[in-house]
Amino acid sequence: MNIKKTSLNNLHIKYGAKLVEFAGYQMPIQYKDGIIQEHKYTRSHSGIFDVSHMGQLFISGGDDLTNNLEKIFPADLKKLKTNQSKYSFLMNNKGGIQDDLIITKTSDGFLIILNAACKYNDYEVIKSKLDNQYKLNLDESLSLIALQGPEAKNVLNKVIPGCNSLKFMNGNNYVYNNKKIYITRSGYTGEDGFEISIKHSDAETFVESLIENGSKLIGLGARDTLRMEAGLCLYGNDLDNDTSPIEANLKWAIPKSRIETEFVGSEVLKNQFQSGVKKLRVGIKPDSKVIARGNTKIYNDKNQEIGKVTSGTFGPSVEHPIAMGYVDNSYSTVNTKIFLEVRGKKIPANICNLPFYKKNYVKGEINV
Amino acid sequence: MSEVKYSKEHEWIKLDGEEATIGITKHATEMLGDIVFVELPEKGSHVDKDGTAGVVESTKAASDVYTPVSGEVIDTNQMIVDDPSKINEDPEESAWFFKLKIKDKNEMDSLMNKEEYEKFSKETSA
């Protein structure tokens, strides 16, 4: 298979990236500073992430688009104002998650940001559920760059004046190099930040100007530790076709106004809302320094298997191992003692609240 | 007189009489990235040549540490347990992993010298 390169590939090499294949793209796992320094720089200053491998699907045209998309996605799209974004899901008929995504209302339709590994399948699924009157464009002429961290607003505002007035989960059009770019205030790190959709040909100079203003390129390795500390799910690890948004503890993303309405998977979700779920995603904090990674088995104090870790690492900002996973619902209460099987040994751990790292408080409260 | 040799699993071993000090190479730490956890063998335990004798974990993944020779574990380095980042800083000196009283000096013969190891690590990472 041909491995694709993003428009920032030369820049990655210039800044000493270690490149790996991810979802069919050659992507930077880390740069010279390494994952821990990159993670901390994002939390203290700002970091630039090449997320151009993700899908940018524009849907427009036709009548009744909002109604028809509400039959696919469980978001309250009718209430969405132009340039406002919502986190939502593409589900299957069993209520399982095919992808988690961000939907933004644009002036002539909707923009949906899709996970790289899911985007082509998502496109086919969405296309098959809409009739031909709509125009679907999985636009591969655009790069996507995330700028995250407490300094992000200052750095970006120097390059794109005025963008720091954007509100969280809102976007707008701006101009860079005489061309239209689209910026949303959003991210995947637990920090304030932006995602910038920009023509491939402008991406490199744009990123260089962010670097000149004090930001640094950050690899996928730190992106993963940042999102885990923030308690955010990674599709394929923490979310999959056999897991519903309710089981994933993402009930907040299903608005009450939609529960009684019809969309793909609505029957199952309605049922789960009423009768509860068997498994639930939880935060897990090991007592010791041992790291429990994805697929680690979880046991109760009677040595019965009660679940599985789906993501786990060492949290550089909380300075402790962190994990999330699914347990039998009766063990999902915070402070429940559980055991993680790592290299044949049962490691004591506790169910804990997510996120591990909270930014909203003054200087970033540490929640481990 | 002490000699340093290297294994294909990227451990270094320094022999001083019957006492061997073992750690992981700079090249290994560069491949692993930031090390955040280390597990060492128990003092007094016996380890067999090419068997696992510990674990290092980076932010990315866990990797086994192997012992290049057999012997009895006579000491372990608490410093790297308390602060695993020391392994990235000084892997081939102060951040050694464990010391062995070795069983058979001949086991050293199959290991590489510095020059051979450098060639090996260049070829395998290419």
What fold is seen in the domain B2-125?
OB fold (Dihydrolipoamide Acetyltransferase, E2P) (2.40.50)
Residue pointed to by tokens 């940042």: A226
- % chain A with pLDDT above 90: 95
Q: Does B31 touch chain A (CB under 8 A)?
A: no
Q: Is the pLDDT of residue A364 over 90?
A: no
A360 burial (CB, 10 Å; 0-12 / 13-18 / 19+) is exposed
List beta partners, residue A90: A99
Beta strands B35-39; B52-58: pairing state: antiparallel
- For residue B70, the one-letter residue type is S
Answer yes or no: do A291 and B37 touch at CB < 8 A: yes
Is the ipTM beyond the 0.90 threshold? no
Average the pLDDT over A28-55 and give the result: 97
**Phi, psi of A161, rounded to the nearest 5 degrees:** -55, 135
pLDDT score of A44: 96
Architecture of domain A278-366: Beta Barrel (2.40)
Answer yes or no: do A36 and B34 touch at CB < 8 A: yes
Query: Which residue ranges make up each domain of chain A?
Result: 1-232, 278-366
List beta partners, residue A105: A110
Answer yes or no: do B36 and A314 touch at CB < 8 A: yes
Residues of A within 8 A of B62 (CB-CB) are 291, 293
Q: Which CATH number does A1-232 carry? A: 3.30.1360.120
- % chain A with pLDDT above 70: 97
pLDDT score of A63: 80
- Compute the nearest-CA separation of A290 from chain B (Å): 7
pLDDT digits (tens, 9 = 90+) for A266-304: 999 999 999 999 999 999 999 999 999 999 999 999 999
